[in-house]
Amino acid sequence: MAAQLFAAIDVGSFKLELGIYEITAKNGLRQIDHLRHVIALGKNTYSTGKISYELIDEMCRILEEFVKVMKSYQVSDYRAYATTAMRLAKNNQIILEQIRVRTGISVKVLSNSEQRLLTYKAIAMKESEFQKIIQKGTAIVDVSFGSMQISLFDKDSLVSTQNLPLGVMAIGTILSKIPVHSWMQRSIIEEVVNKELGTYKKMYLKDRDLKNRGIKNLIAIGELVLYLARDEVDYVASYREKNTALTAGESQGTWMGATDRVSAEDFMAYVDRLCQMSQDQIEERFGVNAGYATLLMPAAIIFRKVVEMTGAEMIWIPGIRMCDGIASEYAQSIKKLNFSHSFDDDITFAARNMAKRYRCGGSHAQCVEKLALELFDVMKKHHGLSSRERLLLQIAAILHGCGKFISTRNTGDCAYNIIMATEIIGLSHEERKLVANVVRCYGQEFDYDDDDTRVAKLTALLRMANSLDRSHKQKMENCRMAMKGGELVITTDYDGDISLEFFSFCFCEGFFEEIFGIKPVLKKKRRG
């Protein structure tokens, strides 16, 4: 089969990027062209809450040029995503419509969790390295223009992922409003960073033995770290040449055969050196304009503080961009790229950690999750839902009891608020809302005003699964389910009393039949 050409467009907070990729079944994904245009969308968003007409006009002109490039390559498909600046802009819907009308490009605004999953997939493209590194305690740190994300791994499992308001443009906005001398900037930046990271450490690192089983590796991503990395290679080589006399058998530097790894010690020394430079010196050193130069020091300080907080020993800079993640996801969706790492498992693991936080992840939740998925699978030909909805049902089952952490009376509404206020990596805002509505409705009167039929179907499945463990004693955990003559027959050989489960089942069966047109039947297998 001939190669497919795909275009990825990133509408970021500080730049527009276009990546052209070749996708083949044999070789997977390969970038063949990359274009970048600096445009400070985030500067408007963080200062006024809107993106100005002048910037909208400039953005549309650049995207029109991107369209010409895409046509010249004869790309067969594209994806265009916008991130933090567009997400926070009050006038984003007006902007998106102007882009569509003027350029023909449809731009989707990503939720933060969707954005992070894309960058995560871009890292996973470097599969052998990624899988090796995350076997030990690892933090992925993405410092962008609008925010930063920290994701923690332990033994190949995603422990947590959190977004922090530490984007370099946000910090730059603070500095622009405070009349300070250049020598004071580092101190002020460190105060801002320490405040946010201190809160994060108390909430998510307090139970980790950082010295013995904590964070060994730090994966640094984001455009700014690419500039830092290129300069750091030269600095580390020069520093070692001038200051180090290597003994026999000692490694030649810290870049382990490539320009993508550095020791924490060398990185710390590099940041200290950068912070001694004037803005003019930074502009000259990195070959960037004044606006961009002001962002490099905050980025370097943020990474330095994360290294201090985690005690990481090695920093890996894989050199990926947002466009790489967009292309990776697309190639995976058309089955031209496969990952051995399961991203769905990461999503469910994040949900389980959330359940643990709200004290709802016990044996009952596990039983309801198992039963809900069995119901989904046996009803596959009758509900018309996809594997993605199966994942959302699973998350709803994991979190269905989280509202009790706040109130035992208004559990549904409390659960809805908790889920909507908590990002789950890989889920869009709409998907998180669907999960929240299912959890809200499973234990109270169903809201027929919701026009998403998926909510009704998943609610019916979750209600039925929960009814089968009404006693919280897992009596029906090993029941058998089968479709027989237009009925869903659930059979158990439990020889004890199931009166409570049977009563709860009868209470749910009417709604189940209304939604699916299938009558559920609960039977107890006779013995002897």
206 band by pLDDT with thresholds 50, 70 and 90: low
Q: Tokens at residue 182, please?
A: 């250049």
* Same fold? 4-111, 126-319: yes
DSSP string for 294-330: HHHHHHHHHHHHHHHHHT--EEE-----HHHHHHHHH
Task: Look at 226 and 179; give whichever has higher pLDDT.
Answer: 226
pLDDT digits (tens, 9 = 90+) for 181-190: 656 778 888 8
pLDDT digits (tens, 9 = 90+) for 49-78: 899 999 999 999 999 999 999 999 999 999
207 band by pLDDT with thresholds 50, 70 and 90: low
- Options 3.40.50.720, 3.10.580.10, 3.40.190.10, 3.30.420.150; CATH for 126-319 is 3.30.420.150
Using CA atoms, how far apart are residues 26 and 23, in angstroms rounded to an integer? Answer: 9
What is the pLDDT at residue 242?
A: 42
What is the pLDDT at residue 267?
A: 87
Q: Check pLDDT > 70 for residue 208.
A: no
Mean predicted confidence (pLDDT) in 352-364: 90
Q: Tokens at residue 258, please?
A: 């490539």
Check: pTM over 0.95? Answer yes or no.
no
4-111: CATH topology is: Nucleotidyltransferase; domain 5 (3.30.420)
Using CA atoms, how far apart are residues 208 and 487, in angstroms rounded to an integer? Answer: 50
| DSSP tag of 207 | T
Report phi then psi at 178, rounded to 5. -120, 120
- Give the bridge partners for 37, in sequence order: 16
Domain boundaries, the chain: 4-111, 126-319, 343-524
pLDDT digits (tens, 9 = 90+) for 87-146: 989 999 999 999 999 999 999 999 888 888 888 888 877 766 777 787 778 888 988 877
Q: Check pLDDT > 80 for residue 249.
A: no
Using CA atoms, how far apart are residues 493 and 149, in angstroms rounded to an integer? Answer: 49
Task: Look at 465 and 445; give whichever has higher pLDDT.
Answer: 465
The amino acid sitting at 188 is I
What is the pLDDT at residue 232?
A: 54
Lowest mean pLDDT among 35-49, 208-222, 322-336, 341-355: 208-222
Using CA atoms, how far apart are residues 521 and 506, in angstroms rounded to an integer? Answer: 9
Q: Check pLDDT > 90 for residue 9.
A: yes
Do 222 and 144 form a contact (C-beta atoms < 8 A)? Answer: yes
235 band by pLDDT with thresholds 50, 70 and 90: very low
CATH 3.30.70.100 fits 343-524, yes or no: no
Residue 58 CB coordination number (10 Å): 15
